[in-house]
Amino acid sequence: MRISNVLKSKSGSVVTLPTDATVRDLVALLAEHNIGAVIVASEDNPVAGIVSERDVVRGLVSGPGILDTPVGDIMTTDVKTAAPTDSVDDLMRIMTEHRIRHVPVMVDGELAGIVSIGDVVKSRIGELEFERDQLESYVHTQ
């Protein structure tokens, strides 16, 4: 299965924040959209970084003052990306090797979507259910 198939089952919008938005803004956005990560975009870069709930928790170790700092201070800048033509198996490997749960999908240098580990699991379950149904059908026709 390709990442493009996973994206088809999701809404087309991707939540982003500018680098100068505060961590407090980020937390509100995460809660509002019930998501675990947000793409950080700048004028010249559609994926300047990614920031997740985990980044917020790690930042809170230094105290609640982190909430008023820019997300650019806590975001991950070495963002692993994927293309719609990449396989879900390759994406699973990237997520596992780099211990990440969200991967932006890029097309011609533009942000086309984001795939979470939940999306990957959902697609894998769908594949397994399809295979099971095919096997059951085959067994019943024999």
- Alpha-carbon distance of 88 to 73, in angstroms, equals 31
Query: Averaged over 129-137, what is the pLDDT?
Result: 82
At residue 54 the predicted structure's pLDDT band, cuts being 50, 70 and 90, is very high
Which domain CATH number covers 128?
A: 3.10.580.10
Q: In this predicted structure, what is the pLDDT of residue 9?
A: 83
Sheet with strand 16-18: strands edge to edge: 16-18, 37-42, 45-52
Please tell me the total count of domains within the chain: 1
**Can you count the helices (H) and strands (E) in the chain?**
5, 5
- Look up the domain containing 119 and give its range: 3-141
- Alpha-carbon distance of 30 to 52, in angstroms, equals 9
- Alpha-carbon distance of 129 to 142, in angstroms, equals 20
Amino acid found at 28? A
Confirm if 105 and 13 have CB atoms less than 8 A apart: no
Q: What is the pTM of this model?
A: 0.85
pLDDT, averaged across the chain: 92
8-39 pLDDT per residue, tens: 888 778 999 999 999 999 999 999 999 999 99
